Structure 1
Amino acid sequence: MGVKTEFRASEPISEQEKTQINSVRAMLQERLPNGIPDDVNTDLNLCRWLRGYHGDMEKIVKNFATYLASRKAAGFVGDDFAEKFFDLPDIEPFLQYIASSRLQDRQWSDEHNAFLFVERAWSQPKEFIKTFKTSDYLLHCFGYSEMLQQLILRREKKQSSDKGPVQFIVIFDLNTVNITDYVNPMSGYMKLWQIRSELWQDWYPEMVQRIYLTNPPRLLGLLWKVARVFLSEENLKRIEIISHTPDLSVKFLPPWLVPKEYGGEFVNTIPPGDETGVSIRRKISPTDYYKPYQHYVKNGIDRPKPSHKDVSPAEKFVFKIQVPKGKKLLWDFTASGEVQFAIYRGNNRNDLVFPSFHLITNKLNEEGTLNDVSDSEISFEFQNLSGYFTLKLEYTVAIL
C-alpha cells in the first residue's frame, strides 16, 4: 500500500502547457546563438521552467540563457557529467568539508516519480565561510544541482509519456545546527545560504518535490524565520518539519526508501557514502582556512597595485582588457556589498568564461586564473545589487 502524502508526483504535461512549451522553445531558439543544448531541450524540462516561473516567458528566456552560459563556463557539461562531478578539480578538494549525498538516483520511488537524497547542515558555519570563497561554494552547489538534473533527465528518457516531470525528495538533517548561529540575517554564512538558495531556485525550478527537515532545533519559530530568508513562498510550502524521526517512514515516505538513520529500512553499502549514503566530512581547523593571493605566488609575481571604483546603486561597471596570444589572466577583487559578477568575451554576455554569480567578499576576496582567454578581449562585469548604497570595489587584473 502506498504512503499517503500531501505532495504527489508532478502532474503530466497538459494541452495548454504543450502550447506554452512550443512558444518558449521558439523564443529560446531565436535568442540563443547556438540554440538549446539537446540534453535540456525536452518538453518535461521546459515544463519545469514554465511551472516554476508561472509562465513568465521573458523571465524564463533571460534566466535560461544565463544558466546555459554559466554551465558551459563552469565545464558542467557532457554525457558523463554525473559520474565525473566529484572528481572535478574545482570540486574534489572541498568534498572533505561537505556532507554530500552519494546516493545518485538509487533510492527511487515510482509512486512519487522521484528519487531521494540526503544533506546534512553545516556544523561549523563560522569556520566554513573562512574555508570557501563564495564562488567555491556556489560552484559546488551549481555542479551538484546540475548532477541531479542530469540524473532526472536520464530517468525521463526512459519513462512512459503519460508521466510528469521527474523530481527529487530531500531529507535535510539539522542535527548539527546551532540555531543561534543563524539569528543574524546579515552574517556571512546566512548570506551564503541565501545566495545558494537563489541559485537553485533560479536555475533549477520545480526539481524539488518535498523537503523533510529532520532533527530540528527547539526554536521552531526562529527556524521558520530563517527559512523565509532562503526560500520562496512556493518552496516553503514544500517543507515538512519532522520533529519525531520515526514519523518520516510511517506517515510520509515508504520505509524502504528512508535510510535507517531516519527511521527507515535502507542501509547504504556503497562507498564513499556512510550507511545513509552521505560522504563523511571532517572537522575544519584554522589550517584549512583559505589563503588568498596564492595564484600570484604560484606564478612567481607580486600582486599588482589594485584599482578602485565606486559603483552607484543598481549600476554596472565593466572593465575590459585585451589578452595577447599565448597569455593568461590572473584576477582578484573585493566589494563592500553584494555584487553580480561575470567574466565574458568582448560584449557577448552569452560567452561567459566565468559563471554569472551573486557574490559577497566580506570574509574572503574573490580571485582566479583564466588560462583559455588568449587573443581575446575579456570583460569583467560588476553589478551593484543594492538599490540604495554605493558599492566600493577594489580589483586587480594581471596578464602573464
Structure 2
Amino acid sequence: METSSPLSHLQSQIPISSPSPNPHKLPTKRSLFTSLMESTTLRSPSFKEDTYLLSNLKPSEKSSLSELKSKLSSSHSTQNPSIWGIPLLSDDEKSDVILLKFLRARDFKVSEAYTMLEKSLSWRKEFEADGILEEELGFKELEGLVAYMHGFDREGHPVCYNAYGVFKDKEMYDKIFGDDEKLKKFLRWRVQVLERGIQLLHFKPGGVNSIIQVTDLKDMPKRELRVASNQILSLFQDNYPEMVARKIFINVPWYFSLVYSIFSPFLTQRTKSKFVIAKESNVAETLYKFISPEDVPVQYGGLSRPGDLQNGPAKPASEFTVKGGEKVNIQIEGIEAGATIVWDLVVGGWDLEYSAEFIPNAKDSYVLAVEKPKKLGPSDEAVHNSFLAREPGKLVLSVDNTASRKRKVAAYRYVVRKSTTPV
C-alpha cells in the first residue's frame, strides 16, 4: 500500500540577517546582456499565443483565410493536399489551424502565405517527410542528449530540448558532420525529432497547437555548427510556421548578447516576444516558470530522469523556495514500522548543505542519520533515495542555505509504501 502527500510540513529557521542595501546608491551602468536578461526573465512573458478561434479573428483575417482556401482549391482541383495527415481543403477546423499558421507567418498576406504553403508541400514531398517517423536513422548516441522531446510545460505544450555541447569533441563532430552526406542524414534526424513533437499537437482551436523549445547553449561550438544550425533554422522557418510557442535559451554565454544585438533588428517583435533567456545560475528558476519540476530533466535542476515518462505522466512534485540565510526542514510524518519511504529532492543551483534523518516516535530511541550532511554543488542533480523504517517515526529532509544570500527554487516528492507483513 502506498501513501503520499504533496503538502508535507515545511519548517524554516530564522534567516541570517544581512545589512540592507543603500537606497540612495547610484545605479551602475548596465550591459546589454543585463538589460536583455531583465527584459526576458524578470518581466512577465509578453507573447500571447494564437487560439485559432475563428471568433477571435478580425474581419480582414477571416477574409484572408477564405481567400487562401479559394486560391489553394483552384490550384489543387484534382487532389486535396494534406500536411501531418490533415487534408487542407476539407471543411474542418484542423485545416483552418494549419492555414492560419501559414497566414500568420506572413502577416495575413495571402499571396505570400500561399507561396510559402506551396513550397512547403513541395518540400515535404521531395524530403519524404510524411514517412520519416518510420525510418531508422541511427544516432542512438544522440537520443536524449542532443535533440529530444521530453514531457510537457504547465500549459500542455510538448517540450523539445536541444543541446549541442557534445559536438565540442572533434571526434564526435567529425562522426556526425564529417561530410555532406552525414550532414544531410543529421538534418533528416532532426526533422524526425520535430515531427514526433508535432504528433502530440491537437490542431484544434483553443487546443495545444505548438511546442516549447529549450536550447542549451553551454559549450556549443558555434563556429563549427554554423552550417548545420543555419540549415536547421531555414528548414524550420520555411516549413513549420508558428510551431513554437516559446524559445527558452539556457546556460547563455557572455557573447549571446552580442549575437542578439546583431540579429535583433532583423527579428519581428512577435518573434522576440517568444524569447526567454537564462544564464547558467538561473536555469532551474527560469524553467520552473514554464515547466513543472517533475517534468524538467535532472541535468537542468528538475526531477525527471531518462525513462521516467515512459510509463505515463510524472508524479507531481511540491515546489518551495529556500531564501538566502535560511534552513528548511521538510518533515514526512506518520511513518509506520516496516514502511519504506522513497523521495526525490532538488534545489536549483544547490550550493548548499543537505542531510536526512529519521526521528523515531519513541523517546528512548536514537535519531538515525539517513544521509549525513553534505555539500551539494551547482552541477549536482536531484537526490533520489529510500529508507526502511524499523519503527514508527518521521523523516526530516534538511536543506541548509544559511551560508548564502541567494534565494533558490526547490522541489520534492515522496511515496510511503506501507508494509504488508508484520515487522
Alignment partner, residue 214 of structure 1: 250
Q: Does the 8 Å contact 2:217/2:250 carry over to 1? A: yes
Instruction: Give the aligned residue type for 2:152.
Output: W
Q: Name the CA shift for 1:19/1:254 in 2 (closer, same or farther; >3 Å).
A: farther
Q: Does the 8 Å contact 2:159/2:213 carry over to 1? A: yes
Alignment partner, residue 239 of structure 2: 203
Q: Distance in 1 between matches of 2:111 and 2:258?
A: 36
Alignment partner, residue 60 of structure 1: 113
Q: Which of 44, 51, 71 is equivalent to 1:11?
A: 51
1:48-76 deviation line (CA, Å, top 9, x unaligned):
11111111222222221222222123322
1:18-66 deviation line (CA, Å, top 9, x unaligned):
4432321221122236332251521111111111111122222222122
Q: Which of 74, 77, 83 is equivalent to 1:30?
A: 74
Q: Distance in 1 between matches of 2:277 and 2:63?
A: 37
Q: Distance in 2 between matches of 1:62 and 1:6?
A: 30
Q: Which of 147, 167, 170 is equivalent to 1:124?
A: 167
Is 1:237–2:236 an aligned residue pair? no
Q: How high is the TM-score relative to the length of structure 2?
A: 0.50
Q: Name the CA shift for 1:228/1:4 in 2 (closer, same or farther; >3 Å).
A: closer
Is 1:254–2:307 an aligned residue pair? no
Q: Distance in 1 between matches of 2:64 and 2:50?
A: 17
Q: Distance in 1 between matches of 2:51 and 2:308?
A: 33
Q: Distance in 2 between matches of 1:261 and 1:116?
A: 15
Instruction: Give the aligned residue type for 2:299.
Output: E
Displacement of 1:174: 1.5
Q: Distance in 2 between matches of 1:103 and 1:192?
A: 20
Q: Name the CA shift for 1:227/1:263 in 2 (closer, same or farther; >3 Å).
A: farther
Q: Distance in 2 between matches of 1:191 and 1:52?
A: 24
Displacement of 1:240: 1.3
Instruction: Give the aligned residue type for 1:64.
Output: L
Displacement of 1:131: 4.5
Q: Does the 8 Å contact 1:29/1:36 carry over to 2? A: no
Q: Which of 251, 263, 282 is equivalent to 2:301?
A: 263
Q: Which of 152, 156, 160 is equivalent to 1:108?
A: 152
Displacement of 1:149: 2.7
Alignment partner, residue 23 of structure 2: none
Q: Does the 8 Å contact 1:217/1:223 carry over to 2? A: no
Q: Name the CA shift for 1:175/1:115 in 2 (closer, same or farther; >3 Å).
A: same
Alignment partner, residue 96 of structure 1: 141
Q: Distance in 2 between matches of 1:132 and 1:56?
A: 36
Alignment partner, residue 143 of structure 1: 192
1:241-288 deviation line (CA, Å, top 9, x unaligned):
11111212444443334223222333342599xxx9xxxxxxxxxxxx
**What is the correspondence of 1:312-391 to structure 2 with a 5 Å cutoff?**
none
Alignment partner, residue 70 of structure 1: 123
Instruction: Give the aligned residue type for 1:261.
Output: Q
Alignment partner, residue 378 of structure 2: none
Please, which moves more after superposition, 223-232 or 50-59?
223-232
Which segments of 5 or more consecutive residues in structure 2 lack a partner in the other structure?
1-42, 89-94, 315-423
Structure possessing the higher radius of gyration over alpha carbons: 2
1:94-133 deviation line (CA, Å, top 9, x unaligned):
45356354436xx234x53522121112532663532553
Q: Name the CA shift for 1:5/1:261 in 2 (closer, same or farther; >3 Å).
A: farther
SS in 2 for 1:65: helix
SS in 1 for 2:293: coil
Displacement of 1:235: 2.8
Q: Distance in 1 between matches of 2:216 and 2:190?
A: 17
Q: Does the 8 Å contact 2:218/2:251 carry over to 1? A: yes
Please, which moves more after superposition, 259-268 or 222-231?
222-231
Alignment partner, residue 296 of structure 1: none
Q: Does the 8 Å contact 2:209/2:243 carry over to 1? A: yes
Alignment partner, residue 175 of structure 1: 218
Question: Could you tell me the percent identity over the aligned residues?
Answer: 18
Q: Name the CA shift for 1:198/1:101 in 2 (closer, same or farther; >3 Å).
A: closer
Q: Name the CA shift for 1:189/1:259 in 2 (closer, same or farther; >3 Å).
A: closer
Instruction: Give the aligned residue type for 1:260.
Output: V
Q: Name the CA shift for 1:63/1:8 in 2 (closer, same or farther; >3 Å).
A: closer
Q: Does the 8 Å contact 1:44/1:165 carry over to 2? A: no
Q: Distance in 2 between matches of 1:231 and 1:123?
A: 28
Instruction: Give the aligned residue type for 1:11.
Output: T
SS in 2 for 1:118: strand
Q: Does the 8 Å contact 1:177/1:217 carry over to 2? A: no
Q: Cα RMSD between the aligned structures?
A: 3.5
SS in 1 for 2:162: strand
